[in-house]
Amino acid sequence: MSGSPLPSAAEGGGPPGGLYHERQRLELCALHALNNVLQRPCFTQEAADEICKRLAPDARLNPHRSLLGTGNYDVNVIMAALQSLELAAVWWDKRRSLERLALGQILGFILNVPSHVSLGFVALPLRRKHWLAVRQLHGTYYNLDSKLRAPVAIGGEAELRAFLRDFLSQGLCEVFLVVPRAVEEAGAWLSPE
């Protein structure tokens, strides 16, 4: 997972046309992954909390977010948020070859990956799940992980597939394809065998 870091568009740098990149705050990685894959600040914490309430209107303790109100949103919140924009999150079956991805039909990727936990500079022997986004701009795919200081260039299609393969091989990783709803319904995100 190598690549060259780039300053975010907000920092006045980045590739031609700019690249939107939100940095990690609280447990809002799902929110940051959504906004990073969409390349604009579409969703706020308040909007995500409202989605949680709609998903579980009668729940005293909402199962779709942290009990502390700091985020930690689950995949249902991501899916509902994307649906509100006529987009869909399609779960990638790890048994399929990544060569079958119809990359021209896919807006971006949201990954749920294991992440180390730390208190300040002290790493703890714990792992949690973390959401990150990958998006293409001008023919180059970028890792838009909110824990990174800046987006990191992955490369072209071959490098993207290697990047995804690396995460999937580590286990406990899920990949979701972000596609227009029409692409989801037609199954056009998957190339024929």
CA distance 32 to 54: 20
Of the residues 32, 52, 64, 145, only one is catalytic, namely 145
Q: Which helix (H) or strand (E) holds 37?
A: helix 29-38
Predicted pLDDT at 73: 76
pLDDT tens digits for range 13-35:
444 458 999 897 777 788 899 99
CA distance 161 to 8: 24
Q: Which domains does the chain have, with CATH numbers?
A: 24-186 (3.90.70.40)
pLDDT tens digits for range 111-155:
988 776 655 666 655 566 888 999 999 999 999 998 889 999 999
- Backbone φ/ψ region at 48: left (φ over 0), alpha (ψ -120 to 50), beta: alpha
Of the residues 21, 32, 64, 130, only one is catalytic, namely 130
**The model's pTM:** 0.80
Asked if 130 is an active-site residue, the reply is: yes
Those residues with Cβ within 8 angstroms of residue 66's Cβ, 6 or more apart along the chain or in another chain: 27, 72
Asked if 145 is an active-site residue, the reply is: yes
Of the residues 21, 29, 32, 64, only one is catalytic, namely 29
Asked if 29 is an active-site residue, the reply is: yes
